[in-house]
Amino acid sequence: MTTLDKRDNEPVSIEVREVVMPELQGAEEITVGAWTKQRGEHVAEGETLMEAHTDKVNAEIPSPVSGKVEELLLQVGDPVTPGQPIARIAPE
């Protein structure tokens, strides 16, 4: 991802890490239950980023990295599969 530096309008490369949905005990139907962080907020590594609901279990999905939430790729209620990108975070 490239953005402009606010000081001199020069392109600056920003590393963005894509967060993917993990496997949840073999669950086939997974739904986004809630986001605990919103775009622009800071999230710590291991802190809950999303709540996922399945036919077998409800789970908290932790962030794999500390940083600023750049984008949430799904809405509450959307279906999601293991390995599917769910968010993008700019690491610190």
Tell me the domain boundaries of the chain. 17-91
pLDDT at 74: 97
pLDDT in tens, 39-89: 999 999 999 999 999 988 899 999 999 999 999 999 999 999 999 999 999
Binning the chain into helix, strand and coil, the percentages to the nearest 5 are: 0, 50, 50
pLDDT at 8: 57
Name the percent of the chain lying above pLDDT 90.
71
Closest by CA to 19, choosing from 73, 60, 58, is 73
Q: pTM, whole model, 2 decimals?
A: 0.81
Closest by CA to 50, choosing from 60, 58, 41, is 60
The topology (CATH level 3) of 17-91 is: OB fold (Dihydrolipoamide Acetyltransferase, E2P) (2.40.50)
